[in-house]
Structure 1
């Protein structure tokens, strides 16, 4: 009978002897090969709050921020905004379970995508969306991972406001010269129904080390690193 030898640690923290910084074996992995997590807000009827739903997250409450890959929950998140893009995003209607279908340069391209896959147009929402690619920081301000924020519909004005604040606060600097704290705030829609919207506040200017990390992530996301 062979013996089982425990030669690994189940701790989520990387052991010191593995922090070589060389990243051997990942030479050919680029930003195109990685799935970037998306941060979103939990609404009152979000599937993350419903225990019978496969997307349920234990501890989920209205107004919390969640990571769609790890299901981690946050009251607020510190980020450095790296770059901005504008797309037409396709989401399945929340009443039908929700879900992201894709980003497209035009509304017509989004419609053609749904038709080509045999998906019913009436079951999806196509909306102009501001996409913010950010570098998420941990509680100590150390870079954690790139994240995406999709702001459409009632969130689009917040997107425009954030872009304006970035320009005003960091005039003459790169977009990633400033850090921001994201949280939620309650708002009311045209039907007088409450919902959670993004709240963006200026946290400060990044230090030299964080600026270098943000720039490196930006170059990686845009395919410019190593050129």
Structure 2
């Protein structure tokens, strides 16, 4: 029996499901202990020519994926641009082995000093490793109607670091005027750039508008749900 046939048989065995609307009263039951820390937060990935997702015939190829597209790592949805609200910013320092020593990540640290200390503690030679700054923005994804559809991590290392700093600078300018980080709607697009290593795609961020009151309220609620201390801890 083929795998597809097995699935079909199972579907027949579990036929006769009531309409989803009739089950609303039980939504959340059994999930009381599930918090945002227990959910997989997707990452947004800007695809380049070298990525497996765009290589025909590769096991990791994603149908329709092309270099210059933004991909949701969990749903594999593809975008040429998208609307987001920037909820928070963090910065880590990632230690990588150099290619000539086998490559691969050693660890992630809060500062460059911590990264260097970790190498020393493990007896690893600094010359065989690279320490790279990795700015990360947590963004609220918006659908075509401008409604929230989930959150995602947006890493901006390497050539994207400058874009991250410009974005933070513009957010800081908004905050000076009394508008919080999560009070703005941005369009996250893609531009083609080049350096001595060749051509590549980079992010392009444009301020679209101040979030309307309803959307702003939803962004605040999502931010509080992710970062606000539990009442017991705050007491």
What TM bracket, shorter-length normalisation? Answer: 0.7 to 0.9
Q: Report the secondary structure of 1:167's partner residue.
A: helix
Structure 2 CA distance, aligned partners of 1:67 and 1:166? 24
TM-score with structure 2 setting the length: 0.77
Residue equivalent to 1:6: 15
Counterparts of 1:37-52 in structure 2 under 5 Å?
37-52=42-57
Unmatched 5+ residue regions in structure 1?
none
**Stretch moving more, 121-130 or 151-160:** 121-130
Q: Deviations over 1:120-141 (max 9, x none)?
A: 9999753112110111111111
CA contact (8 A) 2:134 2:161 kept: yes
Instruction: Work out which of the two has the higher radius of gyration on C-alpha atoms and give 1 or 2.
Output: 2
Any conservation in 2 of the 1:135–1:146 contact (CA below 8 Å)? yes
More helix per residue: 1 or 2? Answer: 2
CA RMSD across the alignment: 3.5
Residue aligning to 2:33: 28
Aligned pair 1:173/2:157, yes or no? no
Q: Number of paired residues?
A: 219
Within-5 A mapping of 1:108-187: 109-110=114-115, 126-170=131-175, 171-187=177-193
Taking the aligned partners of 2:89 and 2:111, their CA distance within structure 1 comes to 16
Equivalent of 1:85 in 69, 75, 90: 90
Instruction: State the Cα distance separating 1:43 from its structure 2 match.
Output: 0.5
> Which residue is equivalent to 2:110?
105
Uncovered stretches (5+) of structure 2, i.e. residues with no partner: 1-11
Tell me, yes or no, if the aligned pair for 1:216 and 1:225 is still in contact at 8 Å. no
